[in-house]
Amino acid sequence: MEIKQPLSYPYSPAFHALLRAGLHLKLLQQVHAHLIVSGYGRNRALLTKLIKQVCAARSIEYTRRLFLVTPDPDSFLFNSIIKATSKFHFSLDSVLFYRRMIISLIRPSDYTFTSVIKACADLSVLTLGRGIHTHVLVCGYGLNIYVQSSLVAFYAKSGDLDIARKVFDRMPSRSLVAWNSMISGYEQNGLAKEAFELFEQMWKMGVEPDSPTFVSLLSACAQMGALGLGCWVHEHVVKNGFDMNVVLGTSLINMYARCGDVEKAREVFDSMSELNVVTWTAMISGYGTNGYGTEAVELFGQMRILGPSPNSVTFVAVLSACAHGGLVDEGRWVFASMSDEYGLVPGMEHHVCMVDMLGRAGLLSEAYQFIRELVPGSPAPAVWTALLGACKMHKNFVLGVEVAEHLLSVDPENPGHYVMLSNIYALAGRMDRVEMVRNIMFRRCLKKQVGYSTIEVNQKTYMFSMGDKSHPESNEIYQYLDDLMWRCREAGYVALPDSVMHEVEEEERDHALRYHSEKLAIAFGLMKTSHAVAIRIVKNLRICEDCHSAIKYISVVANREIIVRDKLRFHHFKDGVCSCLDYW
DNA sequence: TGTTCCCACG
């Protein structure tokens, strides 16, 4: 007969000692020592509880050690450790413990699967997850709603939306979590429109959304720059009395900021009762991308005093705000404070920001020196790309050609580098070289990204690409645009000469230049909206110099505020002036 | 005992 171990929850003193130790590693180690001394060092139940807490205390090494000293791990121990490691993002360990469980011939349960599949989702490992999906079916959990939801999330996060949707569609009953997983899956893969379509379906079926639903929808609005829809979501959240938690509030800030309405973003920021690092970072970044560099740095200053410790994303936001705002001195001390005050190690992205900042300000040799002296190892292509952009901006051909050639040698598959080199030659008037670079690009079958612009009218988003005639009112739009450009020319607009027409990641230069997607979208917006509302355009690439100049004139002749979000930042055009002050 | 949601660069 087996003698019961002297642990019987909740009466055992050892168990109480564990509870008291909480999440402090030191205390947990003391309890472990105590267990050993008092003869419970191999008590599986106590060790299981201890393992969960050690894992929650974020010590993966100690978690692994404890597992190794536990005799005959049972299914309870395996489930606990797989769940704990998955929950605290030690995803690889989670998968490895799962593997060990299978090898030990212990049958996984539905609880095992939800945890290990979540770990696979964190790792985005498709092949591994597919294998575990097979285990799920073999073990007979194919219809378990929790397992199915985690599979939907896993496939969506790993980028296989078709399979995610298949699993989702085959669910006999869909939980709200399953809906949320699928909606956020679309949004995270850049399919904002599909996210909204699925939400509509859910809405029509009478399923009540919750705050994760709204968070995903707000991200989708931010992605599309759809302010109207975003406001609708905000109103709905307020009307239905949802409590404004940090995540939801941060999503709202992000949505308003990325739709170009910084004031509203700040309003939400000020109204929040709890602010975390992500919230502060979202607001700082919102200021930066909208051209309010000073405000971004100021808010960062407040964060240092009142807020949580900034993380490395915060520094990217502040430094890029400094770069776009020409705030070189501020950027220098912010960068220094990163390691001096917060003990953070600057990464590649921070170096990119610094080179970008120095380069934009015309301090090319300092930028070059920064790369040589302060960037450890061999600098990533992105760092050189930043310098190259600055060379073109300040027309430094010698350095520009040198950097571009270096980039082509280390990163020959990137069409952006070829385009940049060709542009630099064009600026120098070396049209023979321009032709040569273009030919190489052609031979290697490298293509530039296709550009497009979107605009929201009456909560519907319309997309335009260059020379696009797919819109049913195409003729009217072109007519309107021609008319508009004629009025701009009357007011003094002159199209830029050919040699400076094609820039990095901008739309193809040809006779259809006049019909760049942003111009089409603006014409459509002017036709369809009333005078009081601003025109808001979202572009996937950078705005070109000619369009930038043209839009300034359009803002005057059409007497309209026009806000363009390009790949990097916002341009607020009003009365013939752009908020970027031609510094972008 | 579970599955879903927030910030940056390029």
Strand B proximity: list residues 263-282 of A with CB under 7 Å. 276-279, 281-282
What confidence score (pLDDT) does residue A420 get?
85
Task: Domain A367-448: give its CATH architecture.
Answer: Alpha Horseshoe (1.25)
Lowest model confidence (mean pLDDT) among A161-165, A213-217, A337-341, A564-568: A564-568
- Whether A225 shows a pLDDT value over 70: the answer reads yes
Structure tokens at A119: 């770990």
| Percent with pLDDT over 90 in chain A | 77
Domain boundaries, chain A: 208-274, 367-448, 452-578
Confidence band of A504 (pLDDT split at 50, 70, 90): very low
CA of A321 to C1' of B9 (A): 12
- Whether A191 shows a pLDDT value over 50: the answer reads yes
The predicted model gives A358-371 an average pLDDT of 95
Lowest model confidence (mean pLDDT) among A186-195, A439-448, A476-485, A492-501: A492-501
CA of A311 to C1' of B7 (A): 10
The half-sphere exposure of A143 on its side-chain side, counting CA atoms within 13 A, is: 3
Nucleotides of chain B within 7 Å of a protein C-beta?
Answer: 1-10
CA of A44 to C1' of B10 (A): 50
Evaluate if the CB of A12 falls below 7 Å from strand B. Answer: no
- On whether the CB atoms of residues A572 and A579 are closer than 8 A, the answer is yes
Evaluate if the CB of A518 falls below 7 Å from strand B. Answer: no
- Whether A73 shows a pLDDT value over 90: the answer reads yes
Confidence band of A512 (pLDDT split at 50, 70, 90): low
Strand B proximity: list residues 180-219 of A with CB under 7 Å. 180-181, 184, 188, 210-212, 215-216, 219
The predicted model gives A403-425 an average pLDDT of 88
Specify the length of chain A in residues: 584
Q: Nearest nt (C1') to A567 (CA)?
A: B10
pTM of the model: 0.90
Structure tokens at A523: 């014409």
CA of A249 to C1' of B6 (A): 8
The predicted model gives A490-516 an average pLDDT of 63
Mean pLDDT of chain A: 91
Beta bridge partners of A563: A536, A572
What confidence score (pLDDT) does residue A513 get?
64
- Whether A561 shows a pLDDT value over 70: the answer reads yes
Evaluate if the CB of A52 falls below 7 Å from strand B. Answer: no
Report the distance separating Cα A354 and Cα A82, nearest Å.
42
- Whether A503 shows a pLDDT value over 70: the answer reads no
CA of A117 to C1' of B3 (A): 9
- On whether the CB atoms of residues A564 and A535 are closer than 8 A, the answer is no
What confidence score (pLDDT) does residue A498 get?
52
Lowest model confidence (mean pLDDT) among A174-178, A334-338, A399-403, A413-417: A413-417
The predicted model gives A276-284 an average pLDDT of 98
Evaluate if the CB of A91 falls below 7 Å from strand B. Answer: no
Confidence band of A507 (pLDDT split at 50, 70, 90): low
Evaluate if the CB of A417 falls below 7 Å from strand B. Answer: no
State the CB neighbour count (10 A cutoff) for residue A329: 8
The predicted model gives A104-116 an average pLDDT of 97
Dihedral pair phi/psi, residue A386, rounded to 5°: -60, -45
Confidence band of A413 (pLDDT split at 50, 70, 90): confident
